[in-house]
Amino acid sequence: MSAAALPAGVWRRECAAELRRSWRLPQFLLPSVLTPAAFYALFTLALAKPSPVAAAASLAGYGVFASIGPALFGFGAGTAMEREQGLIELKRVSPMPPGAYVAAKLAAAVAVTGIAIALIYALSLTAGVHLSPARWALLIGLHLLSTIPYALIGFGIGMRMGGKGAVAMANALFLGSAVIGGLWIPSSMLPSWMQAIGQVVPAYHLGQIARAIIGAPVMGTMVVHIAAVAAMIVLAALWAWTGWRRSPA
């Protein structure tokens, strides 16, 4: 058996193929990478002209925002379209491990997120943001890991809805999570009813954890936020798994 045919080789080849496919789809890549950076540059740097402390606090939320797009559109809309085209059915009848498909999608989403947050970080430096190496490392890790809950949510959507419906749902969750999750405007400044809704979405808790890493004021305790994110990942995984099981293709 050749190395490429071994389980590890299959996973690597599937991840490499998904990464190449993402780079060849500028209609997905460019909005996912440029939109968060453009919003941060316009609403935080150009209009607000913040202090370095305020720019750092805003950076925490916009980094989470940058992770949501690649996860929802890559998994949600992308999976739905591939299911309609019969690609997922083809992969199911092939000897490829089912986990390799999900791992490849996640690798592509994390790679695109990495580019998106790199642009935002570069913009933050122009505003005078300075963090210790340890804080930068924690922030990068959190922002990259923020793709996981939304990737699972998107996968569940993609396995249940058609391509057009999945795109519409991804857009609604992408922008809605940013607003009610306090990623653009701090949650403390939102109406009480929006704060209450925001607590049931991963973006809110991820944003608060990111603010704590930066050293900005947070709402609630880190134990609650970390526990909430962990619980939401479990629920999102169940949502994704049941979608995979119930979908015929």
In tens, the pLDDT along 206-234 reads: 999 999 999 999 998 999 999 999 999 99
In the predicted structure, residue 120 carries a pLDDT above the cut 80:
yes
78-99 burial code (b ≥16 CB/10 A, e <16): bbbbbbbeeebeebeeeebeee
pLDDT of residue 84: 79
Write the CB contacts of 188 (distance below 8 Å, at least 6 apart in sequence): 182, 195, 217, 219
- Write out the two tokens for 206: 């991820």
pLDDT of residue 162: 82
- Write out the two tokens for 32: 């996912």
Domain ranges of the chain: 3-246
pLDDT one-digit tens code per residue, 2-38: 444 456 677 777 777 777 877 777 777 778 888 999 9
Average pLDDT over residues 156-174: 87
**Pairwise CA distance, residues 156 & 92, whole Å:** 16
Label residue 47 exposed, middle or buried (CB < 10 Å: 0-12, 13-18, 19+).
exposed
If one compares 175 and 25, the residue with the highest pLDDT of the two is 175
- Report pTM: 0.88
**Pairwise CA distance, residues 20 & 25, whole Å:** 9
pLDDT of residue 166: 85
**Pairwise CA distance, residues 150 & 112, whole Å:** 14
pLDDT of residue 185: 87
